[in-house]
Homo-oligomer: A and B are copies of this chain.
Amino acid sequence: MTEQTYTYKVAMSCSGCSGAVDRVLKKTAGVSSYDISLEKQTVVVKSSLSQQEVLDVIKKTGKAAEVA
């Protein structure tokens, strides 16, 4: 399965916010790795899912998110 790396801008205000994104990505099938930066407000995801599918997963957390 081909994997791609996507970068998203995600509004995260504290470690509770970034932790929530972490917990949701952790249990998402098709996401092989990710890097969450509270400082840069970014989430970089390596996944076999599409860019939109990963965005939808992140948005499930209720955070404002968009493709960076």
What's the least CB distance linking A10 to chain B, in Å?
Answer: 10
Residue A44, interface by CB 8 Å? no
A20 partner, pick from B15, B22, B23, B63, beta carbons under 8 A:
B63
Residue A14, interface by CB 8 Å? yes
- List of B residues within 8 angstroms of A60 by Cβ: 24, 60-61
9 cross-chain CB contacts under 8 A: A11-B16, A16-B16, A17-B20, A20-B20, A20-B61, A20-B62, A20-B63, A22-B62, A24-B60
- List of B residues within 8 angstroms of A15 by Cβ: 13
Q: Which residue of B lies closest to A58 (CB)?
A: B62
Q: Which residue of B lies closest to A26 (CB)?
A: B62
